[in-house]
Amino acid sequence: MKVADDIRARLDLARDIIGEAGRLALGHFADRAHLGIDAKLNGQDVVSAADRGVETLIRSSVAAAFPDDGFLGEEYGLQKGRSGWRWTVDPIDGTSCFVHGLPSWCISVALSDADEQTRFGLILAPVSGELYEAVADEGARLNGQPLQVDGQASLETGLVGLGASHRVAATEISAVLQALLESGGMFVRSGSGALSIAEVAAGRLCAYYEPHINAWDCLAALLIVREAGGFTAEFPGEGRSLLQGGPVLATAPQIARPLNEMIIGVRQRAS
C-alpha cells in the first residue's frame, strides 16, 4: 500500500500543479507581444519566459511537497533525488506554436519510479481545456472520460502524426513521409509531440512517429497511449540514455506492424 499511497499523493499534487501551470501559461499566451523569447540551437528551437516560468512553478511546488524527489525538466535539466521517484516535465511542448499564436501546445508531467517505469502521466492542452491523464494499470482518461485508441483505422484510412526537428537529418523524416504518401496514407504535424501522441490515445490519430524526441516530450503521453490500449515502442531504445532521447513510435495496435515495417524499410534503403 505504501507505493500506491506515494503515487496517489503525487498524482493529487500533479493535478493541482498542472491546472495552476496552465493558467500561468495562458496568461503569457494572451500577452505574447511582451514575451521574452530566446533561440537555443536554432531559430526553430526557442525558449520563452513562459517555458521558464511554468517549469519554475512546477519545480518549486514539487520541491515544497516532496523535497527528496528527482526532477527532469526541459529548461533546467536533471536534479537527482533520494526518494526513488522522479518527475519529468515539459513546461510548454510546442513552444514554436505557442510564440506564433497557434493552439498546438501543452504541458506534460510524468512520474517515474526507481525502475524507470512511468507510473502516471498528465497532459494539459490549456487552449482547449483538455486534460489527458493515465495511471499505470488504471486506464487513460480525457477530461474524466475513458480513452481508447482507434481499433479500426488503417494506414490508408487513418491520420499519422509525424514529428521533425533539426536534431536529425531532413531525409530521416522526408523519406518516411514519401513512403507513407505512396502507400495511400496521410500525415499531419501539429508542432507538439506530446499532444500528438496523446491524440493517438484519443483515436484522433492512428499513429505518431518522430525519429528523435526527448523524454520530457513523451513519457507522459506514451503511458497514456498504452493505457488506452495502444502500442508504444521501447523508449529511448537500446543503447540510449533517457537524457539522450531517441525515436518514438506510438500507434493503435493494428498500425504498429505495417508502420514499423515501413520505417525499417526506409532506413534500410538509406543505408
Domain extents in the chain? 2-146, 159-270
Measured between alpha carbons, how far is 193 from 164 in angstroms, rounded to an integer? 9
CA 169 to chain centre: 21
- Supply the DSSP symbol for 127: T
Look at residue 47 in the predicted model and tell me its pLDDT. 67
Measured between alpha carbons, how far is 208 from 233 in angstroms, rounded to an integer? 11
Beta strands 186-188 and 207-213, pairing class: unpaired
Look at residue 35 in the predicted model and tell me its pLDDT. 82
DSSP states of 71-114: EEETTTEEE--SSS-EEEEEEEE-HHHHHTT-S--EEEEEEE-T
- 89, 17 contact by CB (below 8 A): no
**Reported CATH class of domain 159-270:** alpha beta
| The residue to which cell 505504501 is assigned | 2
Tens of each residue's pLDDT in the chain, 271 residues: 367 999 999 999 999 999 999 999 999 999 888 787 665 555 455 567 889 999 999 999 999 999 999 999 999 999 999 999 999 999 999 998 998 999 999 999 999 999 999 999 999 999 999 999 999 999 999 999 999 999 999 999 999 999 998 888 899 999 999 999 999 999 999 999 999 999 999 999 999 999 999 999 999 999 999 999 999 999 999 889 999 999 999 999 999 999 999 999 998 888 7
What residue type is 154 in one-letter code? S
Measured between alpha carbons, how far is 60 from 66 in angstroms, rounded to an integer? 10
Look at residue 43 in the predicted model and tell me its pLDDT. 47
Measured between alpha carbons, how far is 97 from 113 in angstroms, rounded to an integer? 32
Query: What's the pTM?
Result: 0.95
Homologous superfamily in CATH for domain 2-146: Fructose-1,6-Bisphosphatase, subunit A, domain 1 (3.30.540.10)
Name the E strands within the chain. 37-42, 45-48, 70-73, 77-79, 86-93, 106-112, 118-125, 130-135, 140-142, 145-146, 159-162, 186-188, 207-213, 231-232, 246-251
- 227, 175 contact by CB (below 8 A): no
